[in-house]
Amino acid sequence: MKIGLIGLGIMGKPMAKNILKGGYTDLLVSDLNTAAVEEVVAAGAKSATNKEIGESCDVVLTMLPNSPHVKSVMLGENGVAGYMKPGAVFIDMSSINPVASKEIAAVLAEKNIDMLDAPVSGGEPKAIDGSLSFMVGGKQEVFDKFKPLLETMGASVVRCGDVGAGNTTKLANQIIVACNIQALAEALTLAQKAGVDPQLVFEAIRGGLAGSTVMNAKAPMMIEGNDKPGFKIDLHIKDLNNALDCAHTVGAPVPMTAEVQEIMQWLHNNEGGQKDHSAIAQYYEHLTGLKLGR
């Protein structure tokens, strides 16, 4: 099986390496960042143009920032879809609006090309160790065929329904993650304001009902003042914008999502857009003048 992967950013680059480690060595890669391409080529992949990927690959994967990027790469002028063979498959691992996923899938279907939307959760650490969670939409038979490929990058690969279901599930995931981070930052701020060590609060509650993967990953970062991005504020803003758009389209009430989005937007406007989303704690630090754990 010849595989093409377009998009070697924070997530795509380690995911490409895990495809190679998983035994899929016929891998062509493309990205505007030549240094990222060279790094993955050094691991065993081959550099290619988008056109070459479309013409020669049985399956094309993308890991791109948002809906316009995926549409441009696949359906724009000289888009990859124009070079793909009937019977080839497109798997979009980007986190985009499910409406856009359905639109892309409809165009590809006219060319006899199947699509899976397969966004991931887990951030850079899980992209590196190959333990991402995939939320997949598409035909059952296409999912079954390519599940082993996705399992080279993820510990959990679940089909959620037809095309669009993967990104709908990812939006739900991103709402839960964002609201958890906000609640965590608020709770630790309360503790420190009341004179209790946030580190001890974290240690005391992490094993109880409030404990979560989000807490285990983000509480130490907040307490240490570490805002090195595993998942950037600006990317989470993008996801929540998609969640709000989708919610407005289907009539779902999402007031908590709107509130945390406003906090992230404030951080974006105050030089925080490229920080990790745990930097939500810095919004509370701005309000209180306290620095968690410090």
Catalytic residues: 170
Distance CA 66, CA 43 (A): 27
Q: Which of 149, 158, 178 is nearest to 255 (CA)?
A: 178
**3-state class (DSSP) for residue 97:** coil
What is the DSSP secondary structure assignment for residue 121, as one 8-state letter? E
Distance CA 184, CA 176 (A): 12
Distance CA 37, CA 12 (A): 10
Q: Which helix (H) or strand (E) holds 30?
A: strand 27-30
Strand duo 89-92 + 114-117: pairing? parallel
Q: Which of 187, 186, 141, 134 is nearest to 165 (CA)?
A: 134
The contacts of residue 292 (CB under 8 Å, 6+ apart) are 188, 189, 192, 198, 222, 223, 225, 281, 285
Token pair of 118 as six digits:
């397969």
Cβ density class 164-200: b for 16+ within 10 Å, e for less? bbbbbbbbebbbebbbbbbbbbebbbebbeeeeebbe
